[in-house]
Amino acid sequence: MNKQKIGFIGAGNMARSLIGGLISSGVKSNQLFAAELNEDSRNALTADFSITTFSENQKLLDECDVVVFAVKPQVLKTVATSLKAKDAALYLTIAAGIPSESLNGWLGSNKAVVRAMPNTPSLVLSGASGLFANSHVSEEQKDTAESILRAVGVTVWVEDEAQLDAVTALSGSGPAYFFMVLEAMEKAGEALGLSADTARLLAIQTGFGATKLALEVEEDPAILRKQVTSPGGTTEQAIKTFEELGLVEMFNKAMTAARDRAEVLAKELGE
């Protein structure tokens, strides 16, 4: 990202993770800025990352080439419309559900806007983010946006912004699905006689190991599942039960419901 100045409006957990990830990836602290009303939060950012902070959003915008909106979706319109936006800047939003067209209009139109949908594992630099760029974003700006999100995990671009609703249903909400599976495995382990601590440790480590294996080998998950499933064995009995209970259809219905809700929220929040 050369010597571009990157500013964050909002200093919550996701902004802190992105700032920490960028510094770990080699971005200098004097390239990073944050605007935040809360003085304690500003002081914490300065102490932890040695970056410059502001109490006023406009001062940050005047200083930076890239502005990252890391505020709650409900306040993004108020924040954006209060700014005198620069035409040359890149505006990256991680506020869930706000269409890029809405943010572009709030900033005064004809602005380079990238909308990103990260997820909570970004807080431990293991996130997955979907990105969409409007027609005003240059290739160089796309590279910049991707580099910012890649500091906390993997990134994928979508050509149709509507696909971000599917990203929301899959990776945005997805961590909750895995946590629910972990909960279920823990409870089942306890019901089978294991202590709560043992069941939790085994469930979490099994989830971590399975995911790590899927990331590091070439086989797709269906092949990996079959490799673990010996004919007539214990795993086969469990898989048959999941299939009989309609696990795949359950996920299809749940994620469709999440996608549909994302579409509704986008219309409500983008007005």
77, 105 Cβ separation under 8 angstroms: no
Helical H segments across 168-246, by residue range: 174-191, 196-216, 221-228, 234-244
Amino acid 266: pLDDT: 87
Give the span between the Cα atoms of 50 and 176, in whole angstroms.
33
| Cβ-Cβ contacts under 8 Å for 147 (sequence gap 6 or more) | 1, 25
Amino acid 203: pLDDT: 98
| Nearest one of 81, 99, 110 to 9, comparing CA atoms | 81
Which pTM value belongs to this model? 0.91
Amino acid 1: pLDDT: 66
110, 136 Cβ separation under 8 angstroms: yes
Q: What parts of the chain have a pLDDT lower than 70?
A: 1
Amino acid 194: pLDDT: 98
Angle at 29 between CA 49 and CA 132, to 5 degrees: 100
Amino acid 233: pLDDT: 96
β-bridge pairing 6-9 and 127-133: unpaired
119, 129 Cβ separation under 8 angstroms: yes
Please give the domain boundaries of the chain with CATH numbers for all domains.
6-163 (3.40.50.720), 174-265 (1.10.3730.10)
